[in-house]
């Protein structure tokens, strides 16, 4: 969407990790944008920024008042995947927000005349793991295995069905692990451990994993909002460079200026210990492979990641080091 377009782009989850970076980049490009948020106080004031308050994202949310004049809607808000989910029925909770909430929003968007909806999904729709050297592709058969992935896949199916019924264009973007300035969860923990010089038993992991820098994901989302060929397509996001957990820790340690202290413990030992401790899923993330092929975005959209993996790690590390000063 260009700055000359008289209709705005709206972003849900605009105070989140991805949504916040997307809003900032759209403003930098002088694109009219409306941030849809629960808490206005988390947004910095900007004359070019419209703000719409939403109490919840669910099947009964009324979006009609905030969709007027929107040309493209990027739906980045979600109930996100967490380790050790404490909900009584995790799948029901994921479906309420990620499936039913998304489809309710989409129906109202179509009724309001929104031209295109870009849905930020997840690589978990494809599955949790790949054999080394056999990456997921955008058009491969989905195979979600956890409640988060299932809820996102069901939303994708509903969105494409709605597109056929209404003519509103739908674009799905499935990212793997997203990292960048302000990243949290396991990636932040890795930076903390590396910066403190904590020895880690991860010096002999020979998997292959794809990541996507926050800037690269934002750029792909904006491309999907603009490009005519993106309509009604699914794209996988990634840096286009894969590496093992061991290689990632060494590269991230270098970006932090703190060489990684890695002990070469065999992956089979780590997996066994993790299973005994009830942490099998965490071990799979550390030791298993998950690769994505971004060839469809390259070929169909002529998209190239703006940052190399090294540049992305450097930005994430630099922000972390500034935050702890």
Catalytic residues: 148
177 CB contacts (<8 Å, ≥6 apart)? 187, 209, 210, 211, 212
The single residue listed with the structure tokens 């739906």 is: 75
- Exposure string for 191-227, b = 16+ CB within 10 A, e = fewer: bebbbeeeebbbbbbebbbbbbbbbbbbbbbbbbbbb
How far is residue 70's CA from residue 116's CA, in Å, rounded to a whole number? Answer: 9
Residue 136 backbone dihedrals phi, psi, to 5 degrees: -65, 145
- The contacts of residue 75 (CB under 8 Å, 6+ apart) are 12, 13, 102, 105, 106, 117, 118, 119, 120
* Residue 78: CA count within 13 A, CB half-sphere: 24
Nearest CA to 294 out of 178, 215, 176, 180 is that of 176
**CA distance linking residue 306 with residue 220, whole number of Å:** 9
């Amino acid at each position: 969407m260009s700055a000359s377009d008289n209709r705005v782009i709206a972003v849900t989850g605009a105070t989140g990790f991805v949504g916040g970076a997307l809003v900032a980049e759209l403003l930098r490009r002088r694109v009219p944008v409306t941030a849809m948020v629960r808490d206005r106080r988390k947004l910095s004031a900007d004359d070019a920024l419209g703000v719409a308050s939403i109490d919840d994202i669910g099947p009964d949310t009324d979006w009609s008042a905030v969709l007027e004049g929107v040309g493209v809607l990027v739906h980045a808000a979600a109930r996100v995947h967490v380790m050790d989910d404490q909900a009584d029925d995790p799948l029901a909770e994921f479906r309420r927000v990620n499936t039913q909430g998304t489809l309710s929003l989409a129906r109202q968007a179509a009724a309001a005349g929104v031209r295109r909806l870009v849905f930020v999904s997840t690589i978990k729709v494809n599955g949790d793991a790949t054999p080394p050297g056999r990456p997921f592709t955008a058009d491969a058969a989905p195979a979600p295995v956890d409640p988060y992935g299932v809820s996102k896949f069901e939303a994708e199916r509903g969105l494409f069905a709605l597109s056929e019924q209404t003519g509103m264009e739908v674009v799905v973007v499935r990212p793997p692990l997203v990292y960048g300035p302000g990243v949290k969860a396991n990636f932040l923990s890795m930076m903390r451990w590396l910066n403190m010089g904590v020895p880690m038993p991860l010096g002999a992991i020979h998997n292959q994993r794809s990541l996507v820098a926050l800037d690269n994901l934002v750029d792909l989302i904006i491309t999907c909002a603009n490009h005519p060929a993106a309509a009604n397509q699914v794209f996988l996001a990634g840096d286009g460079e894969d590496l093992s957990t061991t290689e990632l820790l060494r590269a991230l340690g270098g970006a932090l200026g703190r060489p990684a202290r890695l002990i070469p413990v065999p992956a089979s030992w780590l997996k066994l210990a993790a299973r005994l401790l009830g942490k099998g899923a965490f071990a799979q993330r550390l030791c298993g492979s998950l690769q994505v092929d971004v060839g469809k975005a390259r070929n169909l959209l002529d998209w190239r990641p703006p940052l190399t993996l090294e540049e992305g790690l450097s930005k994430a590390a630099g922000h972390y080091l500034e935050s702890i000063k």
